[in-house]
Structure 1
Amino acid sequence: MLMPRCRARLRTDGTRLRAGSCPAAIEAASSSATARYRGSSSFAMDTTVSHYFLAMCICTLPSCCSNLSRMPTVALLPLALFCLVASITPGPNNVLLMRSGASFGVRGSTGHMLGIQLGCLALLLLCWMGVGTLLLALPTAFLVMRWACFLYLLWLALVILGEARGVAAAGNGNGAFLPRPMRWYEASAFQLVNPKAWMMAVTMASAFYGSNAPGAPEIAVAAATWVAIGTPSMLVWTLWGATIERVLRRPRERQVYALLMAAAVAATALWMLR
């Protein structure tokens, strides 16, 4: 059965969710989270992240996740669905990967993608150790994180804007938006100030929590699921940027595309402050 008694908690607002009363619990969790997030200017996330979806993922994960030897294959479906939505939807990482794909291609962006995966897995491990819960209890920490992410993305948008002017001045259509791709350790460190990555890690850790602390098997399953789902999602965004860049041959077209990329990065930076 896909929905047995669920002992997981939605750590983001403290609402206890049980499979026996999922509709009411989901509604309560969504209303509580919405009120809390809208009422706090220092919290990183807002209602653009569907609390209904997060609560449903937690409710449908069976309690037998704490014993993987008895966990049916279908129990992984909600976790896989959550990983897909979290990794494929627009966010700081995907916007940066699209830019990297346009400037350096898929091969040149390999280190960037590797760094994102390592950083996200590190956050997942930290959340299982309790750091995520502590972070959510300190709104000031999230405020600092949001501003750090905002300033970095705003700087990157200005760099891309400057490179767009350079492409137009060169007139040969062969300029990269940035001098080099992001290195793996830089991409990993960026996850520390990426609110979306933190919320993904906190939600996954909370979904697998039962009455006991999770062990190595639970961590391994969550990490493997994220890598298996997240890697193709990152490739989609990187290939998108690389494909568009090959299509745009004339300097004017490349300049317009660079301006759009700068606008997308700036919009993502502003989204961090909502």
Structure 2
Amino acid sequence: MDMALYTGLVSFVIVMSVTPGPNNLMLMSSSALFGVRATLPTWLGVNLGFNIMLVAAVFGLGTLVARFPWAITLVKFGGAVWLLWMAWLFARAGLATAGPDGKVAAPVRSRPIRSYEAALFQWVNPKALLMTLSSAGAYVALADTAPERAVLMVATFILFGAPCGLLWVFAGGALKRFMADGRSARILNLAIAGILLVTVAMIVLA
């Protein structure tokens, strides 16, 4: 195995996994609203769905996308619509009026995103699609066969990428204390809605 090439893959995985994106924003917001423990199934679903898509990319998903380029547009706008819906839920919770006790209403979404929902979201997540197609295409020389490349890449994303997502989960857990106050919860909900809207704009304009 070319160690220089593998080092490049590790760097790619860390940079792409730790920077803001739909998955990390989803994990942070879920942890801020529901806690770290309740968000761990969401984190597991993100990693499961992502690595399934990575294996698909190694075995030829990129070729399929090249043959049907409109699929990228479909994924892009599908992900944008999903994020808009999330932004609406957070904005609605943030704009909720206070009750007689001075506390705001609970967030509209009464549960964290389930594992299978997070896994399915990877297929309409533009950043995840870009990461899988880019790594599958740029690091073909890592191994002679597709199964070997798939195992090596999945192991690399699990070892170096999954912990990056956990950082966002713990960051959201720290924010949960900030949300204990009703007014602070409203501000955080509106802030998350704004971040999601910015993400949507970046996806659509990319």
Does the pair score TM above 0.5?
yes
Specify the code of the residue in structure 2 equivalent to 1:271: M
1:157 matched residue in structure 2: 87
Structure 1 unmatched runs, 5+: 1-64, 66-70
Q: Which moved more, 1:261-270 or 1:239-248?
A: 239-248
1:99 alignment partner, one of 4, 23, 29: 29
Matched, 1:264 2:195: yes
Q: List per-residue Cα deviations over 1:213-247 (Å, max 9, x = no partner).
A: 62433221111110111221111111111211213
Q: For residues 212 and 242 of structure 1, do their structure 2 counterparts lie closer, same or farther at Cα, with a shift above 3 Å needed?
A: closer
SS at match of 1:109: helix
Q: Which moved more, 1:241-250 or 1:182-191?
A: 241-250
Whole-Å separation in 2 of the counterparts to 1:131 and 1:192? 12
Higher-Rg member (1/2): 1
Q: List per-residue Cα deviations over 1:65-94 (Å, max 9, x = no partner).
A: 3xxxxx55x553211110001101111111
1:116 matched residue in structure 2: 46
2:150 matched residue in structure 1: 219
Contact 1:101 1:242 in 2 (8 A): yes
Whole-Å separation in 1 of the counterparts to 2:182 and 2:142? 60
Specify the code of the residue in structure 1 equivalent to 2:29: R
SS at match of 2:53: helix
Contact 1:133 1:202 in 2 (8 A): no
1:251 alignment partner, one of 182, 185, 189: 182
1:230 matched residue in structure 2: 161
1:166 alignment partner, one of 96, 121, 124: 96
Contact 1:84 1:233 in 2 (8 A): yes
Contact 1:177 1:258 in 2 (8 A): no
Contact 2:58 2:146 in 1 (8 A): no
Contact 2:39 2:112 in 1 (8 A): yes
Contact 1:167 1:251 in 2 (8 A): no
Greater helix percent: which structure?
2
Q: Which moved more, 1:78-87 or 1:208-217?
A: 208-217
Structure 2 unmatched runs, 5+: none
Matched, 1:80 2:7: no
Whole-Å separation in 2 of the counterparts to 1:268 and 1:78? 27
Q: For residues 167 and 222 of structure 1, do their structure 2 counterparts lie closer, same or farther at Cα, with a shift above 3 Å needed?
A: farther
Q: List per-residue Cα deviations over 1:104-160 (Å, max 9, x = no partner).
A: 111111111111111111111111121123214433111111111111110111111
RMSD: 2.2
Number of residue pairs matched? 204
What TM-score does the superposition give when structure 2 sets the normalisation length?
0.90
1:26-105 to 2 correspondences below 5 Å: 65=1, 71-72=2-3, 75-105=5-35
Matched, 1:192 2:192: no
Q: For residues 134 and 255 of structure 1, do their structure 2 counterparts lie closer, same or farther at Cα, with a shift above 3 Å needed?
A: same
Specify the code of the residue in structure 2 equivalent to 1:191: Q
Q: What percent of counterpart residues are identical?
A: 31
2:61 matched residue in structure 1: 131
Specify the code of the residue in structure 1 equivalent to 2:109: L
Whole-Å separation in 1 of the counterparts to 2:23 and 2:108? 17
Specify the code of the residue in structure 2 equivalent to 1:82: F
What TM-score does the superposition give when structure 1 sets the normalisation length?
0.69
